[in-house]
Amino acid sequence: MSAFSRRYPDVYRIDDFDNPWLPLPVRLLNAVPDTLIRRFTRLDEQRLLQRAIQATGLDDFGDEDFRAPFRLLLEDLNTLDHFTPMGRITVQTVLHEQLCSRLCLQEQLKRQPDIAQHKIDRPVFIAGLPRTGTTHLHNLLSQCTQLRYLPLWQTLHPIAPQPGQADRRRRAADLAVNATGFIIPLFKRMHEMATDAPHEELTLCALGYRSFFFEGAFQVPKYRDWYANHSQVKGYAFLRQVLQMLEQEPAQGNKTSVARAPGARWILKSPQHVDQLEAILTVFPDARLILTHRDPARAVLSMITMILYTSRQVYRPQRLREEANAWVDRLEQMLRRSQQQAAAIPGDNVFHVAFDAFMENPEKTIERICEFAQIDLDPVSRQAIQRHLASSARDRHGRIDYRFESLGLDEAEIRARFDFYTTWY
């Protein structure tokens, strides 16, 4: 029996939220005095911008409209400061890499101004909370030859290096995946990641600083309220720019992927889309929306567990209960808005997927989606889907025993709050 199996049996309940276990190197880093870490991790707007300019040799960040949400984000990060030392290093690194990518993206757009005229044809968006089948559905649809997906490495590092420079993006993604497995080893039971596998576009949206990414990764109440209560059409217009640029490159994948047909359409997936259906259709009027549905209480429990587990190396646990309840409020808000927006969308644009029916007969669900979205499900695609189903057994990494009480939540109260959604769907 491996050390991992001894520590984490096949069915495991996370019960250390108040005093989280972390690997020894992380514990040693987090023992460094805060005063010392702060000297090297100042989250100051001008300092961060200047570092990115120095690192890239570029100075055009594009539309200055990003600065308002960026400043609000920094205000949160500097006010609610209960970061661990690793947390402060993490957030500074994330912001630095995002700003560098934004500079490189803008440079690419200036070199190829005609990219802006390129039409993104009938993209397919999967919208649903985590644990509602979105990842499995995304992986299966990504096997279709008429659809192109974003592999993990490209979502983390979308900008190709200049000619003559080594492309180390896959290697960097390998390191990120391995680091995640080392620091938070149970994460693969909640959401599996692989360098070349299909991945959501959340980190690409984050380059515009109008993204659900930030509230999922950090505790940012002011930014969360701003993002939830303002139109995010500009955020999706930014995503369109990124997709326009990426379409100039061959469809990416791994060595065993099926070949993509000429003009393959995008298959995209993110929890961000749940309550942004109107914004998506404003920017992509011919988009096809796939909404996934599951018992909302279970979906909410799973998502909050995942967020709080993955933040254990970033934050000290003193606000855990407060953050869990804030997420209940936020997810109720998202599902209510999603319900209202979906009701106003013509049937030609939206398709609903029930989790239980999908899991019972995934191939039938894929056939119905392809018919709805006008995707030719050719023999090559069908064979690739069957291969993926054969190699992706559910809970193959083990299962998490999710418990409401572990997060200080009451199941009956949660079910009552989300009864509107259960009744609707």
Q: What is the pLDDT of residues 183-210, one digit of tens each?
A: 999 999 998 899 999 999 999 999 999 9
pLDDT given for residue 57 in this prediction: 95
Terminal Cα-to-Cα distance of the chain (whole angstroms): 44
pLDDT at 254 over 70: no
pLDDT at 256 over 60: no
Residues counted in the chain: 425
- Give the pLDDT band (50/70/90) at residue 8: confident
Q: Angle of helix 320-343 relative to helix 221-228, nearest 10 degrees?
A: 10
* Separation of CA 108 from chain center: 24
pLDDT given for residue 1 in this prediction: 45
* Separation of CA 276 from chain center: 14
23 residue type, one letter: P
pLDDT given for residue 257 in this prediction: 59
DSSP conformation letters of 197-221:
SB--SHHHHGGGT-STHHHHHS--H
Q: Both tokens of residue 143?
A: 């096997």
pLDDT at 406 over 80: yes
pLDDT given for residue 110 in this prediction: 92
| Residue-wise pLDDT tens digits, 260-293 | 778 899 999 999 999 999 999 999 999 999 999 9
Average pLDDT estimate for 387-405: 88
- Give the pLDDT band (50/70/90) at residue 162: confident
- Whole-number Å distance between alpha carbons of 327 and 330: 5
- Contact (Cβ atoms closer than 8 angstroms) between residue 350 and residue 342: yes
- The edge-to-edge listing of strands for the beta sheet with 147-148 is 147-148, 265-269, 124-127, 288-293, 350-354
H or E element, residue 44: none
pLDDT at 230 over 60: yes
Average pLDDT estimate for 23-31: 95
pLDDT at 148 over 80: yes
Burial 267-285 (b: 16+ CB within 10 A, else e): bbbbbbbbbbbbbbbebbe
- Whole-number Å distance between alpha carbons of 369 and 126: 11
Q: How far is CA 297 from CA 131, 324, 409, in A?
A: 11, 13, 11
Average pLDDT estimate for 40-69: 95
Cβ-based burial of 214 (10 A; exposed 0-12, middle 13-18, buried ≥19): buried
325 residue type, one letter: N
- Whole-number Å distance between alpha carbons of 205 and 209: 7
| Residue-wise pLDDT tens digits, 337-350 | 999 999 999 888 99
Stretch among 90-99, 164-173, 258-267, 413-422 having the lowest mean pLDDT: 258-267
- Whole-number Å distance between alpha carbons of 289 and 274: 10
Q: Report the mean per-residue pLDDT for the chain.
A: 92
Q: How far is CA 207 from CA 82, 123, 155, 235, 272, in A?
A: 25, 20, 11, 9, 14
